[in-house]
Amino acid sequence: MNAMNSDFVSRKYRRYHRGRDLEYFRVRVKQTDLFIGVTKERYRPNLAARIEERMYSVRAGLETYIASHPEFLTSLEPVALKPGAPEIAKRMARAAVLAGVGPMAAVAGAFAEEVGEVLTDCPDVIVENGGDLYIRTTRERLVMVAAGHSPFSHRIAVRIQPRESPLGVCTSSGTVGPSLSLGRADAALVKAASASLADAVATGAGNRVATKDRLETAIAYAQSIAGVTGILVIKDDRMAAWGDIELVPVKGPDETD
């Protein structure tokens, strides 16, 4: 386990994106580990319990479905839904079809999206699930980019405008974290109208980057998918971007002037 993967497992990266205007809390249900920020004035102590109950219900439905249809869990390509599929599976399957990947490629984004849509009384919501984000915001936000050992890692951020939200900002990496990637991109970050779609497309884009001369292939792939609004791909000392991607130089949380 390298240093970046250790940082991922310990969730230390979460200190990078705390909005000072939000109240944050953590919800863990089995493998689902959420870090949620909400408008401070709308935060209530019972929110975590409310979200935890919702996650148990959603996970139970998905696990029951997978038990009868294991190909939903293992396929690396889109699969046809069977009767009785829960809403979360439908959300994942739709994203998988658009992205041309297996439905589990959308699972983190889909759960983040599920929670964000539950918190309808909060004007500002950020739900992070394994580095994948659902964002609803009334103010400008910056999302710092983690890109393994690339020199760009923790040195740039993507600006998010209120007009874009709600949206998903999801990242796939072949060098950071435990998620399956068939490529070696340090980061394939995708912005899309939904977090489930952003998650699935980030996986598909990352799969296409084995070396740094393949960045344009990932860009062309993302451009072809309806609902994708921007993509940033990083491999070693090279990056490529398309769409509504505004990059901002930033300092890491441990840096001082």
The arithmetic mean of pLDDT across residues 163-180, rounded, is 82
For residue 205, what is the enclosing H or E element? helix 195-207
Both tokens of 63, joined, read 């696990």
Look at residue 66 in the predicted model and tell me its pLDDT: 98
> Letter for the amino acid at 89?
A
Give residue-wise pLDDT tens across range 206-255. 999 999 999 999 999 999 999 999 999 999 999 999 999 999 999 765 55
pLDDT of residue 99: 98
| Domain 3-249 fold | T-fold (3.10.520)
Mean residue pLDDT across the chain:
89
Query: Is-contact 92 104, C-beta < 8 A?
Result: yes
Q: How many Cα atoms sit within 13 Å of 139 on the Cβ side? A: 8
Instruction: Give the pTM.
Output: 0.89
Both tokens of residue 146?
């983690």
Domain boundaries, the chain: 3-249
Q: Measured between alpha carbons, how far is 171 from 193 in angstroms, rounded to an integer?
A: 15
DSSP annotation string for 53-93: HHHHHHHHHHHHHHHH-THHHH-SS--PPPTT--HHHHHHH
pLDDT band at 184 (very low <50, low <70, confident <90, very high): confident
